[in-house]
Structure 1
Amino acid sequence: LLVIAAGIALVNSHEMALLDDRRSAQDYFLGTVFALAAVFAWTWYPLRNSRWLQQRPALASGTWAIAQGLATLPLALLGMAAAGLYFRAHGGFDFPLGADAGRYVGLMLLLGFCASWLGTLLWNRASRLLPAALVGQLIVFETLAAFAYAFILRGALPGSTALIGIALLVGGVILGVRAFRGN
Protein backbone atom coordinates (compact mmCIF):
# COMPACT_ATOMS: atom_id res chain seq x y z
CA LEU A 1 0.00 0.00 0.00
CA LEU A 2 2.92 2.34 0.67
CA VAL A 3 4.27 1.71 -2.84
CA ILE A 4 0.82 2.54 -4.28
CA ALA A 5 0.64 5.70 -2.15
CA ALA A 6 4.10 6.77 -3.36
CA GLY A 7 2.98 6.21 -6.95
CA ILE A 8 -0.14 8.31 -6.47
CA ALA A 9 1.94 11.07 -4.82
CA LEU A 10 4.39 11.15 -7.75
CA VAL A 11 1.72 11.21 -10.43
CA ASN A 12 -0.20 13.89 -8.55
CA SER A 13 2.93 16.01 -8.11
CA HIS A 14 3.25 15.89 -11.91
CA GLU A 15 -0.41 16.90 -12.30
CA MET A 16 -0.14 19.68 -9.69
CA ALA A 17 2.61 21.28 -11.79
CA LEU A 18 0.07 21.57 -14.62
CA LEU A 19 -2.67 23.30 -12.61
CA ASP A 20 -4.76 25.87 -14.39
CA ASP A 21 -4.13 29.34 -12.89
CA ARG A 22 -7.59 30.45 -14.02
CA ARG A 23 -9.27 28.25 -11.43
CA SER A 24 -9.96 29.54 -7.94
CA ALA A 25 -8.70 28.04 -4.70
CA GLN A 26 -12.35 27.15 -3.96
CA ASP A 27 -12.49 25.06 -7.16
CA TYR A 28 -9.44 23.09 -6.05
CA PHE A 29 -10.78 22.72 -2.53
CA LEU A 30 -14.16 21.42 -3.75
CA GLY A 31 -12.42 19.14 -6.25
CA THR A 32 -10.30 17.71 -3.43
CA VAL A 33 -13.36 17.16 -1.22
CA PHE A 34 -15.17 15.36 -4.05
CA ALA A 35 -12.08 13.29 -4.85
CA LEU A 36 -11.75 12.22 -1.20
CA ALA A 37 -15.44 11.31 -1.13
CA ALA A 38 -14.92 9.23 -4.28
CA VAL A 39 -11.91 7.49 -2.71
CA PHE A 40 -14.03 6.70 0.35
CA ALA A 41 -16.83 5.32 -1.83
CA TRP A 42 -14.42 3.26 -3.95
CA THR A 43 -12.74 1.92 -0.82
CA TRP A 44 -16.03 1.01 0.85
CA TYR A 45 -17.70 -0.50 -2.25
CA PRO A 46 -15.23 -3.27 -3.17
CA LEU A 47 -14.87 -4.36 0.44
CA ARG A 48 -18.59 -4.41 1.11
CA ASN A 49 -19.46 -5.94 -2.26
CA SER A 50 -16.89 -8.71 -1.79
CA ARG A 51 -18.16 -9.60 1.68
CA TRP A 52 -21.77 -9.52 0.54
CA LEU A 53 -21.10 -11.83 -2.42
CA GLN A 54 -19.03 -14.26 -0.35
CA GLN A 55 -21.90 -14.55 2.13
CA ARG A 56 -24.22 -15.55 -0.75
CA PRO A 57 -22.41 -18.26 -2.74
CA ALA A 58 -25.62 -19.31 -4.53
CA LEU A 59 -26.07 -15.85 -6.08
CA ALA A 60 -24.64 -15.65 -9.61
CA SER A 61 -22.35 -12.70 -10.35
CA GLY A 62 -24.43 -11.86 -13.43
CA THR A 63 -27.66 -11.75 -11.44
CA TRP A 64 -26.06 -9.41 -8.93
CA ALA A 65 -24.70 -7.18 -11.72
CA ILE A 66 -28.19 -6.88 -13.23
CA ALA A 67 -29.70 -6.12 -9.80
CA GLN A 68 -27.10 -3.40 -9.21
CA GLY A 69 -27.82 -1.90 -12.63
CA LEU A 70 -31.57 -1.87 -12.05
CA ALA A 71 -31.09 -0.31 -8.61
CA THR A 72 -28.92 2.49 -10.00
CA LEU A 73 -31.20 3.27 -12.95
CA PRO A 74 -33.52 5.54 -10.89
CA LEU A 75 -30.45 7.42 -9.61
CA ALA A 76 -29.22 7.89 -13.18
CA LEU A 77 -32.62 9.23 -14.21
CA LEU A 78 -32.60 11.67 -11.29
CA GLY A 79 -29.09 12.77 -12.29
CA MET A 80 -30.21 13.28 -15.87
CA ALA A 81 -33.18 15.36 -14.70
CA ALA A 82 -30.88 17.48 -12.51
CA ALA A 83 -28.50 17.95 -15.46
CA GLY A 84 -31.46 19.02 -17.60
CA LEU A 85 -32.42 21.70 -15.07
CA TYR A 86 -28.82 22.88 -14.87
CA PHE A 87 -28.35 23.07 -18.64
CA ARG A 88 -31.71 24.80 -19.07
CA ALA A 89 -30.57 27.48 -16.60
CA HIS A 90 -26.98 27.77 -17.88
CA GLY A 91 -27.23 26.79 -21.55
CA GLY A 92 -24.39 25.20 -23.46
CA PHE A 93 -25.90 21.79 -24.30
CA ASP A 94 -28.81 20.66 -26.44
CA PHE A 95 -30.52 18.69 -23.65
CA PRO A 96 -31.46 15.85 -23.33
CA LEU A 97 -29.74 14.04 -26.22
CA GLY A 98 -27.40 16.60 -27.75
CA ALA A 99 -27.20 17.70 -31.35
CA ASP A 100 -26.75 14.15 -32.68
CA ALA A 101 -29.29 12.08 -30.73
CA GLY A 102 -28.57 8.76 -32.49
CA ARG A 103 -24.84 8.98 -31.82
CA TYR A 104 -25.45 9.99 -28.21
CA VAL A 105 -27.90 7.14 -27.54
CA GLY A 106 -25.57 4.62 -29.22
CA LEU A 107 -22.62 5.79 -27.15
CA MET A 108 -24.64 5.68 -23.93
CA LEU A 109 -25.82 2.13 -24.72
CA LEU A 110 -22.23 1.06 -25.43
CA LEU A 111 -20.99 2.67 -22.21
CA GLY A 112 -23.89 1.25 -20.24
CA PHE A 113 -23.17 -2.25 -21.48
CA CYS A 114 -19.37 -2.21 -21.39
CA ALA A 115 -18.55 0.04 -18.47
CA SER A 116 -21.55 -0.47 -16.25
CA TRP A 117 -22.99 -3.94 -16.75
CA LEU A 118 -19.92 -5.83 -18.01
CA GLY A 119 -17.61 -3.97 -15.62
CA THR A 120 -19.89 -4.76 -12.69
CA LEU A 121 -20.24 -8.38 -13.78
CA LEU A 122 -16.47 -8.85 -13.95
CA TRP A 123 -15.92 -6.95 -10.70
CA ASN A 124 -18.46 -9.15 -8.92
CA ARG A 125 -16.74 -12.25 -10.25
CA ALA A 126 -13.36 -10.95 -9.03
CA SER A 127 -14.94 -10.10 -5.67
CA ARG A 128 -16.07 -13.68 -5.30
CA LEU A 129 -12.68 -15.17 -6.25
CA LEU A 130 -10.23 -12.83 -4.49
CA PRO A 131 -9.79 -11.69 -0.88
CA ALA A 132 -11.54 -8.38 -0.16
CA ALA A 133 -8.27 -6.62 0.76
CA LEU A 134 -6.77 -7.56 -2.61
CA VAL A 135 -9.86 -6.53 -4.57
CA GLY A 136 -9.64 -3.13 -2.87
CA GLN A 137 -6.07 -2.66 -4.13
CA LEU A 138 -7.07 -3.50 -7.70
CA ILE A 139 -9.17 -0.33 -7.83
CA VAL A 140 -5.83 1.36 -8.58
CA PHE A 141 -6.43 0.40 -12.20
CA GLU A 142 -9.31 2.86 -12.29
CA THR A 143 -6.85 5.56 -11.23
CA LEU A 144 -4.50 4.48 -14.01
CA ALA A 145 -7.35 4.68 -16.52
CA ALA A 146 -8.14 8.22 -15.33
CA PHE A 147 -4.51 9.23 -15.87
CA ALA A 148 -4.55 7.65 -19.33
CA TYR A 149 -7.71 9.62 -20.22
CA ALA A 150 -6.09 12.85 -18.99
CA PHE A 151 -2.96 12.29 -21.09
CA ILE A 152 -5.04 11.39 -24.16
CA LEU A 153 -7.24 14.47 -23.68
CA ARG A 154 -4.16 16.66 -23.36
CA GLY A 155 -2.54 14.97 -26.35
CA ALA A 156 0.68 14.62 -24.38
CA LEU A 157 2.77 11.80 -23.01
CA PRO A 158 3.31 11.60 -19.25
CA GLY A 159 6.52 13.13 -17.90
CA SER A 160 9.20 11.11 -16.13
CA THR A 161 7.74 11.80 -12.67
CA ALA A 162 4.33 10.59 -13.80
CA LEU A 163 5.84 7.50 -15.45
CA ILE A 164 7.70 6.59 -12.25
CA GLY A 165 4.48 7.11 -10.30
CA ILE A 166 2.54 4.89 -12.71
CA ALA A 167 5.24 2.21 -12.42
CA LEU A 168 4.98 2.38 -8.63
CA LEU A 169 1.18 2.05 -8.82
CA VAL A 170 1.43 -1.08 -10.95
CA GLY A 171 4.33 -2.40 -8.86
CA GLY A 172 2.36 -1.89 -5.66
CA VAL A 173 -0.53 -3.94 -7.00
CA ILE A 174 1.86 -6.67 -8.14
CA LEU A 175 3.43 -6.73 -4.66
CA GLY A 176 -0.07 -6.97 -3.16
CA VAL A 177 -1.00 -9.89 -5.40
CA ARG A 178 2.27 -11.65 -4.55
CA ALA A 179 1.68 -11.08 -0.82
CA PHE A 180 -1.73 -12.74 -1.06
CA ARG A 181 -0.32 -15.63 -3.09
CA GLY A 182 2.47 -16.13 -0.54
CA ASN A 183 5.32 -15.71 -3.08
Structure 2
Amino acid sequence: MNWESIIDLISKVDPMIWAVIALVLFVLLLLSFLVRKLKPKSVVAYTTDSGRVLVSQSAIVELVQTSCAQVEAIAKPSVKIRTQRNKTHLQIGFKLTSGGRMREIEQLLKSHLTRTLTENLGIENLGTIEIKATGFKGGKIQSPVAHKPKQLEEFTDMSDINPDEVEEEESKP
Protein backbone atom coordinates (compact mmCIF):
# COMPACT_ATOMS: atom_id res chain seq x y z
CA MET A 1 0.00 0.00 0.00
CA ASN A 2 1.49 3.31 -1.06
CA TRP A 3 0.66 6.94 -0.19
CA GLU A 4 -1.58 7.47 -3.17
CA SER A 5 -3.84 4.58 -2.22
CA ILE A 6 -4.01 5.81 1.39
CA ILE A 7 -4.97 9.31 0.26
CA ASP A 8 -7.54 7.80 -2.12
CA LEU A 9 -9.05 5.79 0.72
CA ILE A 10 -9.22 8.83 3.01
CA SER A 11 -10.84 10.98 0.35
CA LYS A 12 -13.59 8.38 -0.17
CA VAL A 13 -14.65 8.58 3.51
CA ASP A 14 -17.89 10.46 4.07
CA PRO A 15 -17.37 14.01 5.44
CA MET A 16 -19.95 13.26 8.11
CA ILE A 17 -17.63 10.63 9.58
CA TRP A 18 -14.81 13.21 9.75
CA ALA A 19 -17.18 15.57 11.59
CA VAL A 20 -18.03 12.84 14.12
CA ILE A 21 -14.34 12.04 14.63
CA ALA A 22 -13.54 15.73 15.16
CA LEU A 23 -16.44 16.05 17.62
CA VAL A 24 -15.28 13.00 19.61
CA LEU A 25 -11.72 14.35 19.78
CA PHE A 26 -13.02 17.74 20.92
CA VAL A 27 -15.13 16.15 23.67
CA LEU A 28 -12.18 14.04 24.86
CA LEU A 29 -9.95 17.11 24.95
CA LEU A 30 -12.61 19.06 26.86
CA LEU A 31 -13.06 16.23 29.38
CA SER A 32 -9.33 15.95 30.02
CA PHE A 33 -9.18 19.71 30.56
CA LEU A 34 -12.12 19.61 32.99
CA VAL A 35 -10.63 16.71 34.94
CA ARG A 36 -7.43 18.71 35.39
CA LYS A 37 -9.29 21.84 36.44
CA LEU A 38 -11.67 20.03 38.78
CA LYS A 39 -8.89 18.09 40.46
CA PRO A 40 -8.88 19.18 44.11
CA LYS A 41 -6.15 21.64 44.98
CA SER A 42 -6.50 20.87 48.69
CA VAL A 43 -6.29 17.83 50.93
CA VAL A 44 -8.49 17.25 53.96
CA ALA A 45 -6.16 17.38 56.95
CA TYR A 46 -8.77 16.51 59.55
CA THR A 47 -12.43 16.97 60.33
CA THR A 48 -13.92 18.66 63.39
CA ASP A 49 -17.50 19.09 64.59
CA SER A 50 -17.61 22.47 62.90
CA GLY A 51 -16.20 21.37 59.53
CA ARG A 52 -13.17 20.24 57.59
CA VAL A 53 -9.66 21.64 57.76
CA LEU A 54 -7.92 21.72 54.38
CA VAL A 55 -4.25 21.96 53.44
CA SER A 56 -3.26 23.03 49.96
CA GLN A 57 -1.29 20.59 47.88
CA SER A 58 1.34 23.25 47.27
CA ALA A 59 1.93 23.47 51.03
CA ILE A 60 2.51 19.72 51.17
CA VAL A 61 4.85 19.86 48.18
CA GLU A 62 6.79 22.73 49.75
CA LEU A 63 7.13 20.86 53.06
CA VAL A 64 8.35 17.70 51.31
CA GLN A 65 10.84 19.63 49.16
CA THR A 66 12.16 21.48 52.21
CA SER A 67 12.58 18.19 54.04
CA CYS A 68 14.40 16.67 51.07
CA ALA A 69 16.69 19.71 50.84
CA GLN A 70 17.89 18.98 54.37
CA VAL A 71 19.22 15.58 53.29
CA GLU A 72 22.57 15.93 51.51
CA ALA A 73 22.17 12.74 49.46
CA ILE A 74 19.01 14.00 47.72
CA ALA A 75 18.92 16.27 44.67
CA LYS A 76 16.01 17.56 42.57
CA PRO A 77 13.05 16.18 44.54
CA SER A 78 9.64 15.89 42.90
CA VAL A 79 6.34 15.20 44.65
CA LYS A 80 3.10 13.66 43.41
CA ILE A 81 0.04 13.74 45.65
CA ARG A 82 -2.87 11.35 45.24
CA THR A 83 -6.01 11.18 47.39
CA GLN A 84 -7.81 7.89 47.48
CA ARG A 85 -10.51 6.77 49.96
CA ASN A 86 -9.91 9.82 52.18
CA LYS A 87 -6.19 8.99 52.47
CA THR A 88 -3.39 11.15 51.15
CA HIS A 89 -0.69 9.19 49.35
CA LEU A 90 2.66 10.69 48.37
CA GLN A 91 5.15 9.64 45.74
CA ILE A 92 8.53 11.30 46.14
CA GLY A 93 11.10 11.04 43.39
CA PHE A 94 14.65 12.37 43.57
CA LYS A 95 18.13 11.98 42.22
CA LEU A 96 20.45 10.14 44.56
CA THR A 97 23.83 11.80 44.95
CA SER A 98 27.02 9.80 45.11
CA GLY A 99 27.56 8.18 48.47
CA GLY A 100 23.84 8.19 49.31
CA ARG A 101 22.39 5.01 50.77
CA MET A 102 18.84 4.41 49.57
CA ARG A 103 17.68 2.34 52.58
CA GLU A 104 18.85 4.95 55.08
CA ILE A 105 17.35 7.81 53.07
CA GLU A 106 14.05 5.96 52.70
CA GLN A 107 13.75 5.31 56.44
CA LEU A 108 14.82 8.84 57.33
CA LEU A 109 12.43 10.51 54.86
CA LYS A 110 9.44 8.35 55.73
CA SER A 111 9.78 8.87 59.47
CA HIS A 112 10.50 12.59 59.14
CA LEU A 113 7.68 13.24 56.66
CA THR A 114 5.15 11.20 58.63
CA ARG A 115 6.00 13.18 61.75
CA THR A 116 5.99 16.62 60.10
CA LEU A 117 2.87 16.06 58.02
CA THR A 118 0.89 14.87 61.03
CA GLU A 119 2.31 17.30 63.60
CA ASN A 120 2.80 20.46 61.53
CA LEU A 121 -0.01 20.22 58.98
CA GLY A 122 -2.34 18.01 61.01
CA ILE A 123 -2.91 15.44 58.28
CA GLU A 124 -4.55 12.50 60.03
CA ASN A 125 -5.30 10.19 57.13
CA LEU A 126 -1.82 9.81 55.72
CA GLY A 127 -1.55 6.88 53.34
CA THR A 128 1.57 5.46 51.76
CA ILE A 129 4.75 7.40 51.16
CA GLU A 130 6.55 5.93 48.16
CA ILE A 131 10.21 6.80 47.75
CA LYS A 132 11.61 6.54 44.23
CA ALA A 133 15.15 7.18 43.01
CA THR A 134 14.73 8.66 39.54
CA GLY A 135 18.43 8.91 38.75
CA PHE A 136 21.86 9.59 40.08
CA LYS A 137 23.83 12.76 40.47
CA GLY A 138 27.48 11.86 40.45
CA GLY A 139 30.30 13.63 42.13
CA LYS A 140 33.97 13.69 41.29
CA ILE A 141 35.92 10.56 42.07
CA GLN A 142 38.88 11.33 44.27
CA SER A 143 42.09 9.43 43.71
CA PRO A 144 43.58 7.97 46.90
CA VAL A 145 47.12 8.84 45.73
CA ALA A 146 46.34 12.44 44.86
CA HIS A 147 48.09 15.08 46.94
CA LYS A 148 45.66 16.46 49.46
CA PRO A 149 46.32 20.15 50.13
CA LYS A 150 46.05 21.40 53.67
CA GLN A 151 42.70 22.81 54.60
CA LEU A 152 42.47 26.27 56.07
CA GLU A 153 41.42 24.83 59.44
CA GLU A 154 44.61 22.70 59.60
CA PHE A 155 46.87 25.75 59.76
CA THR A 156 47.44 26.81 63.33
CA ASP A 157 49.60 29.78 62.47
CA MET A 158 51.73 31.07 59.60
CA SER A 159 54.75 29.11 60.81
CA ASP A 160 53.10 25.94 59.47
CA ILE A 161 53.45 27.20 55.89
CA ASN A 162 56.66 26.30 54.14
CA PRO A 163 57.41 29.08 51.60
CA ASP A 164 59.36 26.64 49.38
CA GLU A 165 56.27 24.39 48.96
CA VAL A 166 54.09 27.38 48.04
CA GLU A 167 56.51 28.59 45.38
CA GLU A 168 56.83 25.08 43.92
CA GLU A 169 53.05 24.66 43.67
CA GLU A 170 52.59 28.10 42.10
CA SER A 171 55.24 27.44 39.43
CA LYS A 172 53.51 24.20 38.30
CA PRO A 173 51.38 24.64 35.08
TM-score, reference length from structure 1: 0.20
Higher relative contact order (CA closer than 8 Å, sequence separation 6+):
1
Larger Rg: 2
Higher strand share: 2
TM-score, normalised with respect to structure 2: 0.21
